Structure 1
Amino acid sequence: NPTRTGLLLTLQEMGARIDIVDPRNEGGEDVADLRVRYSELKGVAVPPERAPTMIDEYPVLAVAASFAEGETLMEG
């Protein structure tokens, strides 16, 4: 779902190796499978305008950020 991709985009900006596999439409909504592989993460600044696309995923981002090298700033 394009309105729920903020976490995916942010993790990729942090260096996460995430591949989108088999994108398709199911039940009127865009979905895909993900292939995720180990990678070292680096801190990033998350722009406030991205918050609506990942509001429920901030706790997951906080966990990832705790393992990242450097500082991660989340605003919004």
Structure 2
Amino acid sequence: MAVPVASKRIWKEQNARAFDQKEKAVESLVADIKEDVMVWRAAAPLTCQSPGPLMVGLCGTFMSGQTADSM
């Protein structure tokens, strides 16, 4: 789950550097990624209680050790 979150933040940072001439410090980028991961983990129980077909694979990733089949 951290990989998609990190990828999105890095992609947004790359775009900011390329198109807006804005640059964040690495420490700030890492802090943003950690915050996003915490938000996604906090939201996972809300979205994975009764996952639809699109959420089944993601719920296994979000929930620590649980898969959609074990819910």
Instruction: Check whether TM > 0.5.
Output: no
**Higher strand fraction (1 or 2):** 1
Higher relative contact order (CA 8 A, sep 6+): 1
Report the TM-score, using the length of structure 1 for normalisation: 0.27
**Higher helix fraction (1 or 2):** 2
Instruction: Compare CA radii of gyration and give the structure with the larger one.
Output: 2
